[in-house]
Structure 1
Amino acid sequence: MTVDEAKTVQVEQLWVPDTLDGPDAADFLDAVEVGRRVRMETWGSDDLAYTPLEKLLELSDPYERQIILVAKVDGVIVGTVDIALPLADNLDLAEFTLDILPEFQGRGVGRQLLEAAEQLARAEGRTMALVDTNHPATSLTEIPEDQLIPGSGAGFVPVSSREVDFAKRAGYTLQHIEQFSSCVLPLDSKLVGDLQLEAEEANGGRYTLHHWTDRCPEPWLEAVAALENAAGEVVREEGDEDAPEVEASGMVFDAAVLRETEDAALAQGRRTVVTAVEHVESGRLVGLTTISVLAHRQDVVFQDDTLVLQEHRGNKLGLLIKVANMERLSEQFPDARVIYTWNAPENRYLLTVNKQLGFTTAGVTGLWQKELPGRLSGATSSD
């Protein structure tokens, strides 16, 4: 970028309006549209893009503070960076989501936004930054020279990717890969019957299912909290919000914390469909799976965690609960046409289950990490 070009880029913090129909909402609406256009360019659809109202609701998350910086050229927003600052755990962490309109990529806009985000994170006392790069399946190659392997786990991102080159030049190190997959809904009825039979034959009637939507029944609250706290014992399905390179959550779940998370989800308009599995002999919940439905776009849904206690593996419980939960989802939300999920490539168990259900690989997400220098003295988030 030349000096003259650099002078045309203005980075500032985005004003978040109270409503979307006022005159002060224009920049917010434009910023959300940038994110939609970038996802259209990457994935060929806007399934993963926020609607303006969804984004506005998300900003009220009590467990995460979000600050959005925008880059303007001649007064027009051409790029954004969403800075997520966890408030309940991982207090040293800042997560960046960087979106630059395709026609402004390669002109230094992303670099200026990322440097501003890092400065803000340092001012907030954060010492570790995470950023992701997204790569559709068509960009992945079998050529070893074009495969950048992460520091942990399996998978790769394409070395030739512009995003990969950008992250490397910005000083970030590739830590992990998440495989991004999708499945068309509703499931074929014959497939459902076959998979249910397969799972039931494997567990021999030793388990029973329980279902709920949005709020866990009172008798199961403590059991679900115990299951969430058994992180070391579970087969876990990773979502994009659970980056494997981040240390395990410091949150300790109990009935009150679970109710708070349910209330937070409902306040944002999200619905949650849950299926849990009980070991009949012990009366203990040994696994669960959840699907999230957004408030104002129920045609696209997201697979959240799938957890199965280690001592109960080998009974096809992951298959059992996921088939049942996807069936319940289609019954309650018949407009749902596609479900998305992210998995660590080394999680062969859940990848096999997902393949049986009809999930296909849409691409990969690279998770990058960078240590930030110590806190900036005298700086504030508005600098």
Structure 2
Amino acid sequence: MANDVRIEQLWIPDSLDGPDAADFLAAVEVGRKVRMQTWGSDDLAYAPQEKLLEMADPYERQVILVAKVDGEIVGTVDIALPLADDLDLAEFTLDILPEFQGQGVGRQLLEAAEHFARDEGRHRILIDTNHPGASLAGSEAEQLVPGSGLGFVPLGSREVEFARHTGYTLQHIEQFSACTLPLDSKLVAELEAEADEANAGRYRLHHWTDRCPDEWLEAVAALENAAGENGVPGVDTADMVFDGGILREAEEVTIAQGRRTVVTAVEHIATGTLVGLTTISVLALRPDVVFQDDTVVLQEHRGNKLGLLIKVANMERLSEQFPDARVLYTWNAPENRYLLQVNRQLGFATAGVTGIWEKELPDLGPSVS
């Protein structure tokens, strides 16, 4: 056990320049070191400024608890409390420095976070565990399959053992994949030809960056709602109902956080309606690492290779606008076989999996102080 662990709430500074920013910078660095340990790179780590901007998200209250040993921060738990919907939910991200893992620090931090969540009236907790591709090569006897029945996490993983011992149940898996940019021009030509042949001139592409044109605003809100209906159980997009106003607010929040958004949508020419779209996010401070967000194609227009059409076009636009982008990351539910197939055609390779775990906290009733 680690000696004398102190748990406290992290002070969030106004800027990174002041003397009061030292703990915040140290906490962000814990997250970076853990991602280096898991993935072999810090592509998925927050830059301090990025994290600071995210703390001001109007849709989510964010609190960070830290574990200190001898005054040094050795572990953190980010607590995200949705404010617009899922008001019973808290999402935790738990990070412990490699040299302090297995010493009880994580358990103490998690217990403190659960107490905090319960005091905030949150009873449903989600945490995730991350598993690089190399750790997935065992036999079936060494696999834990989620309630959804698709995908698995490695049973022998320290993170998996920790989640199970602390009372969490594996709900579902997200497959995590990476694609090197820019795409090969020969591949692009082949895939565009394949998609064009399938949709036979019945569709037209539209592109924008950051802000949706007014004429498509309600159509995009409808597509986002359709994406939510097909969402994964336990993930909070399912309860978000978008309209044009909410979409505009979300755009402004994204822009305020310094993020850029590259969008390609597809219109069914005969009806003049948008029937699909795909989005890539570019972070303010890491132009080399970009993230695939939603891709949605309405059910009645599937089978025309529209997913392939819009994704190829959007990745091409991304490389034109953001030539520094060298890798595109995406997460997909294993049941989304169509998108996984499209991703394989584009050159995505599996980098690992993320397990989403859930726990219901018992209601202890009013606390007596």
Alignment partners' CA distance in 2, 1:64 and 1:248: 13
2:229–2:238 Cα contact (<8 Å) kept: no
Preserved CA contact (<8 Å) 1:123 1:375: no
Report the counterpart of residue 63 of structure 1 in structure 2. Answer: 59
**CA distance in structure 2 between the partners assigned to 1:28 and 1:318 by the alignment:** 41
Higher relative contact order (CA 8 A, sep 6+): 1
Query: Deviation per CA, 1:232-253, whole angstroms, max 9, x where unpaired?
Result: 776x7xxxxxx53346633321
CA distance in 2, matches of 1:264, 1:319: 29
2:361 maps to 372
- Measured after TM superposition, the shift of residue 329 of structure 1 is 0.3
Q: Which runs of 5+ in 2 are unaligned?
A: none
Amino acid in the other structure paired with 2:289? V
1:166-177 residue pairs with structure 2 within 5 A? 166-177=162-173
Quote the Cα distance in structure 2 between the aligned partners of 1:45 and 1:365: 16
Q: Counterpart of 1:346?
A: 335
Secondary structure in structure 1 of the residue aligned to 2:17: coil
Cα distance in 2 for residues equivalent to 1:86 and 1:307: 23
| Cα displacement string for residues 162-204 of structure 1 (whole angstroms, at most 9, x for unaligned residues) | 0000000000000100100000000000000100000000000
- Specify which of 185, 190, 204 is matched with residue 194 of structure 1: 190
Q: Is the 8 A contact 2:7 2:109 kept in 1?
A: yes
Q: How far apart, in 2, do the equivalents of 1:319 and 1:189 lie?
A: 15
Structure-2 separation of matches of 1:251 and 1:347: 20
Name the aligned partner's letter for residue 109 of structure 2.
Answer: L
Aligned equivalent of 1:280: 269
Match of 2:292 in 1: 303
| Equivalent position of 1:23 in the other structure | 19
The normalised TM-score by structure 2 is 0.97
> Is the 8 Å Cα contact of residues 122 and 376 (structure 1) preserved in structure 2?
no
180-189 vs 243-252, greater mean Cα deviation: 243-252
Of 335, 341, 350, 2:324 maps to 335
* Equivalent in the alignment of 2:122: 126
Among all aligned residue pairs of Structure 1 and Structure 2, give the percentage whose two residues are the same amino acid.
76
**Does the residue aligned with 2:355 lie in a helix, a strand or coil?**
strand
Match of 1:240 in 2: none
Q: Deviations over 1:82-120 (max 9, x none)?
A: 000001111110000000001000000000000000000
Please tell me the residue identity of whatever aligns with 1:222.
Answer: E
Matched, 1:97 2:85: no
Deviations 1:226-270 (A, max 9, x none): 212224776x7xxxxxx5334663332111111000000001011
8 Å Cα contact 1:147-1:156 kept in structure 2: yes
Question: How many residues end up aligned between the 2 structures?
Answer: 369
Partners in 2 of 1:318 and 1:150 — Cα distance? 27
Name which of 158, 161, 168 aligns with 1:162.
158
Amino acid at match of 1:48: L
Q: What is the one-letter code of the residue matched to 1:100?
A: I
Which residue type is aligned with residue 119 of structure 1? H
Q: Give the corresponding residue for 1:289.
A: 278
How far apart are residue 376 of structure 1 and its match? 6.1
Check whether the contact 1:233–1:309 (CA below 8 A) recurs between aligned residues: no
Shift in Å at residue 222 of structure 1?
A: 1.1
Partner of 1:239: none
Alignment root-mean-square deviation, CA: 1.5
Shift of residue 144 of structure 1? 1.2
**Contact 1:153–1:177 (CA<8 Å) still a contact in 2?**
no
Which deviates the most, 160-169 or 366-375? 366-375
Q: Which amino acid aligns with 2:59?
A: Y
Report the Cα offset of residue 366 of structure 1: 0.5
Match of 2:351 among 347, 362, 365: 362
SS, match of residue 230 in structure 1:
helix
Asked if the contact 1:273–1:291 (Cα under 8 Å) also holds between the matched residues in 2, the reply is yes
Asked whether the 8 Å contact 1:32–1:51 carries over to 2, the reply is yes
Deviation track 1:336-381 (CA, whole Å, cap 9, x = no partner) reads 000000001121100000000000000000110000122663599x
Summarize the alignment of residues 203-242 of structure 1 with structure 2, pairs less than 5 Å apart.
Answer: 203-231=199-227
CA distance in 2, matches of 1:221, 1:373: 42
1-structure distance, mates of 2:14, 2:251: 23
The residue type equivalent to 1:86 in the other structure is P
Give the Cα separation in 1 of the matches to 2:364 and 2:317: 48
| Structure-1 separation of matches of 2:196 and 2:149 | 32
**Structure 2 counterpart of 1:141, which letter?**
A
Match of 2:312 in 1: 323
Contact 2:175 2:332 in 1 (8 A): yes
TM-superposed CA distance for 1:290, in Å, is: 0.1
Distance 2:46 2:71 in 1: 23
What is the match of residue 50 of structure 1? 46
**1:265 is matched with which residue?**
254
Equivalent AA in structure 2 for residue 268 of structure 1: Q
Q: Is the 8 A contact 1:289 1:325 kept in 2?
A: yes
Which secondary structure state, in structure 2, belongs to the residue aligned with residue 192 of structure 1?
helix
In the superposition, the TM-score normalised over structure 1's length comes to 0.94
Paired AA for residue 355 in structure 1: R
Is the deviation greater in 103-112 or in 223-232? 223-232
Aligned to 1:116: 112
Residues in 1 aligned to 2:341 and 2:233: alpha-carbon distance in whole angstroms: 20
Paired amino acid for 1:164: V
